[in-house]
Amino acid sequence: MPDTDVLIVGGGPTGLLLANELGLAGVRAIVVERDLTRSRQSKALNLQPRSAEILDWRGWLGLIDEYVFAKLPWGHFAGIPLDYGKLDSRFALQTAIVQADVERALEGKLADFGITRHRGHELVHIDSGLAPGDEQVSAIVATTEGEQRITAHYLVGADGGRSTVRKLTGVGFPGREGHMPATVCDVTLTRKPAGLAERWSIPEFDPARADFAFLLALPDGVHRFVFGGPDQAGIDRDTVITAEEVQGALTRSYGSEIELGELRAGSRFVDSARQVTEYRTGRVFLAGDAAHIHAPLGGQGMSLGLQDAFNLGWKLAADINGWAPPQLLDTYHRERHPVAAAVLANTQVQSVLTTSHPDALAVRAMMIRMLQLPEANRQVAEDISGLGIRYDLGPGLGHRMPDLDLGDGTRLAEHARDGSGLLLDSSPDRRFTAIADDWKARVRSVAVDPGVLAAPAVLVRPDGYVCAASHAPSTISAALTFWFGTPE
């Protein structure tokens, strides 16, 4: 018997949410993380609306309440405002929270499932699990006490943009090299110019300049400072960021009245856009930045990884718990690859819109006019927020299920807390509920008032996406078998 069911490499938000999903389903998991301590750098700064929804779907959104420092009803596309207030969601806003605090909240939840994140554990080799016929994964992990072998049914690489798991699988990682080098820092300021924003706000770009810089206010007197341009070209990503370099960039952008206090943390990046060709190699899966990298424009990165984990978690659990249909695990790549490809595309567009090339300036001016049109603004807002995700599950299917208010005083999300699928039945005689009884350990039936749904029966997967809607009992029965396996 393997040491664990799933070995998760990488203890960031993606890996931690995946571990919680597995724990909720009674699946054993081990989370290994190379770094001995949590990074001081703020990294990601927000949850998009769809990511707030998936946490609420499990009842875990309250875990982050103490860390949230702003809730704002807008997003942005290369600094052009997007109106989130008109989106159809209980969480039609950006939830401002630094990545480290998301990690704290999700790591704390792991204790409920007896799962621990092991720091100072670095994956160095995968002995088995990459070939189609392998029955388990065998991996070597280097720890502070020497090397350790861990066996598992599956391994998930959630170990970031420089993923060791991705390199060991040998999977293709095509895309384009970045052309916009930049530096991001967390700083404090001892002097500030008049009018500097002291609240979290949309980053302001001045595309007429060859270089760029903006400050975003974070909690506790800290600011996120991002700067880049031609002077960053040729600097290696691992080159140490100095206080003198940061002060120089602050002065160029904000004048002599601004003064750096502490340079708390920083890193360099480029707007590369790459995505793996396959999210699965044998018994090894990739998620989050291990599967896709892109420019941090629009605030989509952390949310994209969380949604990968939410898609994959219930499917792995179904397989390990013995009821997954044969094709279920392969749907992870089919569904998530196009979603990340769309994010890569929109961040590439945003990168162009922040440059000073005359053609880019003309396109930006046109985009500003277009996004003043309510329908265009809404469409792009749905893309950036994640609310517009639609998996290719058939005509009229694959969209997220809205969190309905039910007639009994509850709302739909409250019925999804245990990770079950949901069968929504609005038929007068509840005939679909009787059908779903054969899957009652995997699917919860919920009575809905007539006229609320587009069809008398709607089947919702554990990750909140509609996989069947029909008047025909035979169609619902077939969908139950396709997504939830043979009847019990």
Q: How far apart are CA 375 and CA 381, in angstroms?
A: 10
Q: Report the range of poorest mean pLDDT among 38-42, 108-112, 265-269, 332-336.
A: 38-42
The two tokens of residue 297 are 């424009």
Query: What does the pLDDT look like over 370-387, one tens digit per residue?
Result: 999 999 999 999 999 999
As a whole number of Å, the end-to-end CA separation of the chain is 25
Domains 4-174+274-350 and 182-269 share a fold: no
Q: Is 121 helix (H, G, I), strand (E, B) or coil?
A: coil
Please give the CATH topology (third level) of the domain spanning 182-269. Answer: Alpha-Beta Plaits (3.30.70)
The CATH architecture of the domain made up of 4-174+274-350 is 3-Layer(bba) Sandwich (3.50)
Options 3.30.70.3190, 3.40.30.120, 3.40.980.10, 2.40.110.20; which CATH number does 412-484 get? 3.40.30.120
Residue with the bigger pLDDT between 203 and 126: it is 126
Q: Give residue-wise pLDDT tens across range 97-122.
A: 999 999 999 999 999 999 989 999 99
Q: Cα(151)–Cα(128) distance, rounded to whole angstroms? A: 9
- Buried b or exposed e, range 217-236, using 16+ CB within 10 angstroms: bbeeebbbbbbbbeebeeee
More confident residue, 257 or 179: 257
**Residues of the chain with pLDDT > 70: what percent?**
100
- Pull the structure tokens for residue 197: 């924003």
- Mean pLDDT, range 187-191, rounded to an integer: 95
- pLDDT-derived band at 198 (thresholds 50, 70, 90) equals confident
Closest CA to 62 of 373, 431, 417, 457: 417
- Answer yes or no: are the C-beta atoms of 284 and 79 closer than 8 Å: no
What mean pLDDT do residues 432-437 have? 95
**pLDDT higher than 80, residue 192:** yes
Q: Where are the alpha helices (DSSP H) in 48-154?
A: 49-57, 99-110
Locate the domains of the chain by residue range. 4-174+274-350, 182-269, 412-484
Position 24 confidence tier, pLDDT thresholds 50, 70, 90: very high
